[in-house]
Amino acid sequence: MQTQISIGYEQILKLAYLLSQEEKKKLIEDLQNDIPQKGERKFGKYEGQIWMSEDFNEPLEEFSEYMP
């Protein structure tokens, strides 16, 4: 079983100060390996999470006075 906890940046920083030098180095290495490098993309990462409504390309009523 996996547990997820939401904590803020300040809390993470305070916890990081409690680590030994060796643990800090390991944490930095792990974070650098988990964060995608610039330009690196994972295709399909958001598949099924993004959608467009059927009327996406329809004119908006708010702009009707500007349309021919």
- If you write DSSP's letter for every residue of the chain in order, what string do you get? --------HHHHHHHHHTS-HHHHHHHHHHHHHHSPPTT---TTTTTTT----TTTTSPPGGGGGG--
The pLDDT value given to residue 20: 92
State pLDDT tens for residues 22-60.
Answer: 998 898 888 877 776 677 677 888 888 888 899 999 888
The pLDDT value given to residue 22: 92
Q: Where are the domains of the chain?
A: 8-32
